[in-house]
Amino acid sequence: MDGVRPLLDAVDAATRRGLHAAGYVAYEAAPAFDPALAAHPRLEGLPLACFFLYREPLRVPMAELSPPAGAGWAFGPWQPGCSREAYDEALERVRTWIAAGDTYQINLTCPMGARFEGAPFAAFLDLHRGQRSGECAFLNCGGRSILSLSPELFFRLDGGLLETRPMKGTIARGRWPEEDREQAQRLIESPKERAENVMIVDLLRNDMGRISDTGSVAVSSLFDTERYRTLWQMTSTVRARTGASLGEIFGALFPSGSVTGAPKVRAMQIIRELEPEPRGVYCGAVGRAGPGGKARFNVAIRTILLDAAAGEARYSVGSGVTWDSRAGSEHAECLLKAEVLRGPAEPFHLLETLLWDGRAFPMEREHLERMAASADYFDYPFDALAARKALMDAAAPWAGNSAKVRLLLGEDGFFSAEGGPVPEAGEFLLALADTPVQDTEVFLFHKTTRRAVYENARAAHPEAGDVLLWNTRGELTESCIANAAFLLGGRWLTPPVPCGLLPGVMRRRLLESGRISEGVVRVSDLPDVRGIALFNAVRGWMPARLMP
């Protein structure tokens, strides 16, 4: 414990000599800065702080980094270190302390463990590719590796300007663009999430005031939203002027109030009592420092500690508990934050299939609007001019003739397109899918090359022209190649998007024209249905019927 502060002073001295440093400070190092900050003894075999010195950084864009050929990796099943019952009991104890006036908020965490096989750096690159968080870091510490996928900035120092960006407030992403925007707005307007955020902002303002120029501490933005693969996060930004050293900054701010609660001293005492294990690097800080008074450290959330030789992985999740917290929602938030561990995201392309009438694409605008919306959702670059050029190049051989043109967009922003004959029209014979689709599956709402759901449904019924899909609530959704409408009670009804289906371009036109209306149609309604139609932008309106 006595060596933590001298180590940071040595790092500071090294950067003044022109060297650079990268490393971490573990959560359990907190008492080195203030003995009143309670923490468990450190994790066995893990130093409280560790830094590496180097002369010049080699700057390589993340897109150009790739693991060695054949460097695979895999996690075994993740096992929580605390049961749901234990977590709920701890949460209720926190609410008791809040009621007694001991604290306003506690960041309650739960460790998880799994077996690990493979190359740690390959795992980091794949997981980073899926998260695209701005404060990620990888450290090879000899026997152990630290894979930090954190989106949260602890502090940034640049020539005397100190900035922190605490992150408090979480909500799941929406499944399609409109729902996604609604989720972001719901987060911004949530009284509970705003209260959590303000508490931590006030704590950090006080911490920064201890080392900052008088009157320089200011909240430059409040209640911003940041979007990640699986969730939205609420952040705020606090800035100040300071002449403090690296060790003095850590002494005033560490650990971040966003991972302790408020007030910090009492919060850490409660955490020490409730959590049975040390946190390690998790909830500490990982980052770098360099010449010219520059430094940048993350709050080490979403951080994996790997012991590749032993085949062991450690990860933790947590959430801020306030008086308004309830066990179910807080536990669900923890599980949401563990989604980062699902593994490497399977590559996919965005897809649009357009009708070429021999001279033009009649629904080009609607198709490109939908692709642009999905590109924004998945953080794919989108250039409308490049998309149109790819379409026209693919249509050129079909001048004067109708064609089906398939437009693909990769995560690198590159478009490709190819033309083919328009399939013949005719009545479709339909089979009903054997199993339901999960309306929580994001890819049902975007047209992409990830089509296993549809391919499996069709493979199960080779005798049918297409397959009618339905969800776990027994609601019909669409077919494998088209949206659907059902003549029920004298009206053509098409299932609403939240049932779990693609918002089709032709569907949009039919709704705008009034030919069809939205309405839930259940599998149990099929005996009363007097007509079925499939429709998409290439084939138009297609009559269909269920096979006997």
Instruction: For residue 96, give every residue at least 6 positions away whose Cβ sits within 8 Å of its Cβ, in sequence order, or none.
Output: none
Instruction: For residue 189, give every residue at least 6 positions away whose Cβ sits within 8 Å of its Cβ, in sequence order, or none.
Output: none
pLDDT in the model for residue 11: 97
Confidence of residue 101 (pLDDT cuts 50, 70, 90): very high
**Interatomic CA distance for residues 489 and 493, integer angstroms:** 9
Average pLDDT over residues 102-118: 91
Predicted model pTM: 0.85
* pLDDT tens-digit series, residues 194-213: 988 998 899 999 999 999 99
| Cis before 255 (ω within 30) | yes
177-189 helix and 364-378 helix, angle to the nearest 10 degrees: 40
- Residue 333 a catalytic site member: no
**Where do we find the tokens 């993740």?**
78
The residue among 146, 147, 112 whose CA lies nearest residue 127 is 147
**Where do we find the tokens 């109030």?**
257
pLDDT in the model for residue 78: 85
Instruction: For residue 44, give every residue at least 6 positions away whose Cβ sits within 8 Å of its Cβ, in sequence order, or none.
Output: none
Q: Can you point out the beta strands (E) in 322-436? A: 350-356, 403-409, 415-420, 428-432
pLDDT in the model for residue 152: 93
Average pLDDT over residues 54-79: 82
Beta bridge partners, 475, equal 522
pLDDT(477) > 80 = yes
Q: What is the DSSP letter of 499?
A: G
Helix (H, G, I), strand (E, B) or coil at 154: strand
Q: Can you point out the beta strands (E) in 499-538? A: 517-518, 531-536
**Interatomic CA distance for residues 318 and 338, integer angstroms:** 9
Helix (H, G, I), strand (E, B) or coil at 47: coil
More confident residue, 520 or 57: 520
Confidence of residue 433 (pLDDT cuts 50, 70, 90): very high
Going by their DSSP bridges, the two strands 303-307 and 312-321 should be labelled as antiparallel
Contact 380, 413 (CB under 8 A): yes
pLDDT in the model for residue 221: 95
| Domains of the chain and CATH, by start | 4-29+39-63+78-342 (3.60.120.10), 350-420 (3.30.470.10), 428-546 (3.20.10.10)
| Lowest mean pLDDT, pick from 144-158, 320-334, 355-369, 517-531 | 320-334
Within 13 Å and on the Cβ side, how many CA atoms surround 204? 31
pLDDT in the model for residue 328: 65
**Interatomic CA distance for residues 538 and 423, integer angstroms:** 8
Confidence of residue 342 (pLDDT cuts 50, 70, 90): low
Average pLDDT over residues 394-408: 96
- Please identify which of the residues 152, 196, 248, 475 carries the catalytic annotation: 152
Token pair, residue 96, equals 């008791």
Q: To the nearest whole number, what is the mean pLDDT of the chain?
A: 93
- Please identify which of the residues 135, 168, 193, 196 carries the catalytic annotation: 168
**Interatomic CA distance for residues 219 and 198, integer angstroms:** 11
**Where do we find the tokens 């990888």?**
138
Instruction: For residue 369, give every residue at least 6 positions away whose Cβ sits within 8 Å of its Cβ, in sequence order, or none.
Output: none
- Residue 275 a catalytic site member: no
Contact 20, 290 (CB under 8 A): yes
The residue among 421, 443, 423 whose CA lies nearest residue 542 is 423
pLDDT(235) > 90 = yes
Q: Helix count (H) and strand count (E) of the chain? A: 12, 28
Within 13 Å and on the Cβ side, how many CA atoms surround 88? 8
**Interatomic CA distance for residues 315 and 109, integer angstroms:** 10
The residue among 446, 381, 437 whose CA lies nearest residue 176 is 446
Within 13 Å and on the Cβ side, how many CA atoms surround 69? 0
Contact 467, 431 (CB under 8 A): yes
User: Position 405: which residue type?
Assistant: V
* Phi, psi of 489, rounded to the nearest 5 degrees: 60, 30
The residue among 349, 333, 107, 325 whose CA lies nearest residue 232 is 333
pLDDT(332) > 90 = no
pLDDT in the model for residue 308: 86
* Phi, psi of 394, rounded to the nearest 5 degrees: -70, -30
User: Position 462: which residue type?
Assistant: P
Contact 207, 200 (CB under 8 A): no
Q: In the chain, what is the straight-line distance between the N-terminal and C-terminal CA atoms, in Å?
A: 76
Average pLDDT over residues 448-462: 97
Token pair, residue 250, equals 């850590």
pLDDT(334) > 70 = no
Contact 6, 35 (CB under 8 A): no
pLDDT(132) > 80 = no
| Lowest mean pLDDT, pick from 105-114, 124-133, 363-372, 536-545 | 124-133
